[in-house]
Amino acid sequence: MTGELLVNNITMNVPDYVFEPDYALPSLHEIEAFINQNGHLPGVPSARKVASDGALNMTEMQMAQLEKIEELTLHSIAQQKTIEAQETALTAQQDRIARLEAVVRSLADQ
């Protein structure tokens, strides 16, 4: 369910849709490519656009910022899971190396 925010009698959707399973979260590579090509975040107006419009809708900007914060949170969660998996793999590798070193030492002592 998407929450709603009412500002100046205008209903705006709070961007909790980013947490829906079918939301296409852009990869960090896609975001980087967009920034390199356009010089700003996707979904956020550029400084040039704001200057040409002569105004900035702060409510829309806050919703865009919230969307980006929520997307960043999802990326952080994914990165944390990757880190934890890598730590588990590293610990297993270290244990295996220690066991192999023990076998090599025992063979060398014979």
The 10s digit of each residue's pLDDT in 45-59 is 999 999 999 888 888
Look at the alpha carbons of 16, 22, 23, 26 in this order and tell me if their dihedral is positive or negative.
Answer: positive
Minimal CA–CA distance to 40: which of 12, 58, 75, 65? 65
Domain positions in the chain are 4-109
Distance CA 14, CA 59 (A): 11
Query: pTM score, two decimals?
Result: 0.78
Q: Among 7, 5, 15, 29, which Cα is nearest to 67's?
A: 15
Residue 12 is predicted with a pLDDT of: 72
pLDDT tens by residue, 8-55: 666 678 899 999 999 999 999 999 999 999 999 999 999 999 999 988
